[in-house]
Amino acid sequence: MGGYSKAETSKPEVIEFTLSGLGTAVDARDVKKMAGARHVVSATVDEDNMKGTCLGTGKVSVRLNQGETREQIELNFTKNGIAVREAASDPRKRPAMTGPPKEFAKEVQNTKSHKQGFLTTSTPEAYGNSGGYQVQ
C-alpha cells in the first residue's frame, strides 16, 4: 500500500532541453543514454541530409519521476561535454490560426431529406418538376 501513497504525492513533469556540442557520430539513441533518466519522451538530433551525420545540435524531452531533478539531467549531459539549456517556446508562434473558427460538418440524420435539400430550386420548371404539362 505504500506504493500507492508515493504515486499520489509524486508529480511528474516533462522538460524539454536544447542540446549543443554533440559529436558528428551521435544519434538519438546516444542522447537518450546520456540523459540518464528513467523516461525519455523523445530525442531528436539535427542531421545533415547528404552526409547522414549530426550537425551538433538536438532536443530531448524528459519526464522527471520521483527522485529525479532537472539539475541531475543537466549534469549528466555536462559530464559528456554537451551544453544544455531549457528549450523556450517562441512567443511569435501561435498554435491557432487567426481568423474565423472552422465550421465542422454536421452529422446527417436523414440522408434522403438532406439530398432533397440540394436538389430543390426556386423554379421547378427548369427540371421538369412542375407536376403538369404545359402545351403552347
- 74: CATH: 3.30.70.330
Name the residue range of residue 28's domain.
10-86
What string of DSSP letters covers 49-69? TTT--EEEEEEEEEEE-TT--
pLDDT digits (tens, 9 = 90+) for 6-33: 666 667 788 999 999 998 999 999 999 9
- The answer to whether position 22 is within a domain reads yes
pLDDT digits (tens, 9 = 90+) for 39-97: 999 999 999 988 889 999 999 999 988 888 889 999 999 998 999 998 876 666 665 66
- The answer to whether position 126 is within a domain reads no
Give the number of domains in the chain.
1
Say yes or no to pLDDT of 135 above 90: no
- The answer to whether position 26 is within a domain reads yes
DSSP state of 84: E
pLDDT, residue 66, reads 82
- The answer to whether position 129 is within a domain reads no
Give the whole-angstrom CA distance, residue 20 versus residue 45. 10
Residue among 9, 122, 105, 111 at smallest CA distance from 66: 9
Say yes or no to pLDDT of 127 above 70: no
Cβ proximity of 74 and 35 under 8 Å: no
- The answer to whether position 97 is within a domain reads no
